[in-house]
């Protein structure tokens, strides 16, 4: 059964892929309505925390994912899914969870803005780099022949264009942007999650059969992601408030973008699709559990900022 998972493909037709792309772009647009140009300049004002968050997401997490893959030696398609998830920017609900967990929301929004922009280049780059360094996934990449330029184009369309559009509307029509942002993210996110559940339901027998192979890996990988953000922040002596936000930004990945890439470039490859889809469900649970734990742990004055 093990070799079979690398040849299994999740049923996801071209019309559904198109809808998924549009919905994810709308989710990004809703997030962008809350982002201000000043969020990008925070890198200059508070470089240590912002650079730590970016380094944690785009350098440390992919590296530790590579070490984890070497340690547990999962099936190649599952390993490639792990590299893909680690290569994605922070997830869509990280700002909400950061607020709920009494983290630094301004830092969280700043990291979301910068990570979304950097992901246009860093997501294809990290996937190609770490995927090529591990023999079994390198063989898969060669077999599928993914063009980095094409992946960069898709990521730019899904993240870059909505981000720019949201920023422009926020600047030109701030009142309208504020009103739209209140509902836009929630409605589009609900629709996005519903779409994923429909696809999972349609493939439920296949997912049930192979979920055992990815369940424990997702839990372990997600724990590594949270630990990466937390340990780096504490090592650098950042405040508890900043530490919470960086931990959440590292542990909540944009699995929606990952799924788009899986179905666009990897034809719904079994291990990749199941791992990425389950990560999208699990990080909501783990993020809310961690957020709840921190929400009931008050911050002292010295722990803020």
Domains of the chain: which residue ranges? 3-303
Give the mean model confidence (pLDDT) for residues 257-273: 82
First to last CA, the chain: 51
Q: Rounded to whole angstroms, how far apart are CA atoms 229 and 206? A: 34
pLDDT of residue 284: 84
The more confident residue out of 93 and 74 is 74
- What is the average pLDDT across 177-204? 73
What does the alpha-carbon distance between residue 109 and residue 29 come to, in Å, rounded to a whole number?
14
9 — pLDDT class (breaks 50, 70, 90): low
Q: pTM of this prediction?
A: 0.85
Per-residue pLDDT tens digits for 225-257 = 999 999 999 999 998 999 999 999 999 988 888
Q: What is the pLDDT of residue 254?
A: 84
The average pLDDT across 169-186 equals 78
- Quickly tell me which residue has 């996801």 as its tokens: 12
Position 74 confidence tier, pLDDT thresholds 50, 70, 90: very high
- pLDDT exceeds 80 at position 20: no
Is residue 214 scored above 60 in pLDDT?
yes
Task: Report whether pLDDT(185) > 70.
Answer: no
Q: DSSP label at 238?
A: -
Residue 3 pLDDT greater than 50, yes or no = no
Output the six-digit token pair for 25.
């772009």
Given this model, what pLDDT does residue 244 score?
94
For residue 97, the model assigns a pLDDT of: 85
Confidence of residue 66 (pLDDT cuts 50, 70, 90): very high
CATH of domain 3-303: 1.20.1530.20
pLDDT band of 304, cuts 50, 70, 90 = low
Residue 44 has pLDDT above 70, yes or no: no
Query: What residues contact 301, with CB distance under 8 A and at least 6 apart?
Result: none
286-304 in b/e form (b: 16+ CB < 10 A) is bbbebbeebbeeeeeeeee
**pLDDT for 1:** 41
């Amino acid at each position: 059964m093990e070799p079979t998972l690398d040849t299994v493909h999740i049923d996801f037709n071209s019309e559904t892929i198109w809808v998924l792309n549009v919905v994810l772009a709308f989710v990004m647009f809703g997030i962008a309505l809350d982002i201000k140009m000043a969020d990008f300049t925070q890198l200059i004002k508070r470089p240590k925390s912002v650079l730590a968050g970016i380094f944690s997401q785009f350098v440390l997490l992919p590296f530790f994912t590579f070490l984890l893959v070497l340690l547990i030696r999962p099936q190649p398609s599952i390993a490639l899914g792990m590299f893909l998830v680690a290569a994605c920017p922070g997830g869509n609900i990280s700002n909400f969870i950061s607020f709920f967990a009494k983290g630094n929301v301004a830092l969280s929004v700043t990291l979301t803005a910068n990570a979304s922009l950097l992901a246009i280049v860093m997501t294809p780059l990290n996937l190609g780099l770490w995927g090529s360094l591990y023999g079994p996934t390198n063989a898969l990449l060669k077999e599928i022949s993914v063009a980095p330029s094409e992946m960069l184009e898709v990521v730019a369309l899904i993240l870059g264009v909505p981000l720019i559009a949201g920023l422009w509307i926020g600047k030109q029509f701030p009142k309208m942007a504020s009103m739209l942002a209140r509902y836009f993210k929630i409605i589009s996110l609900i629709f996005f999650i519903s779409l994923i559940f429909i696809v999972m339901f349609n493939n439920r027998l296949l997912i049930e059969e192979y979920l055992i192979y990815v369940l424990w890996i997702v839990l372990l990988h997600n724990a590594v992601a949270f630990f990466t953000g937390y340990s780096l922040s504490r090592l650098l002596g950042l405040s508890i408030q900043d530490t919470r936000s960086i931990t959440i930004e590292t542990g909540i990945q944009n699995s929606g973008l990952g799924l788009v890439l899986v179905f666009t470039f990897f034809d719904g490859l079994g291990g990749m699709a199941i791992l990425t889809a389950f990560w999208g469900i699990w990080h909501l649970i783990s993020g809310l559990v961690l957020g709840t734990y921190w929400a009931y742990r008050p911050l002292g004055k010295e722990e803020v900022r």
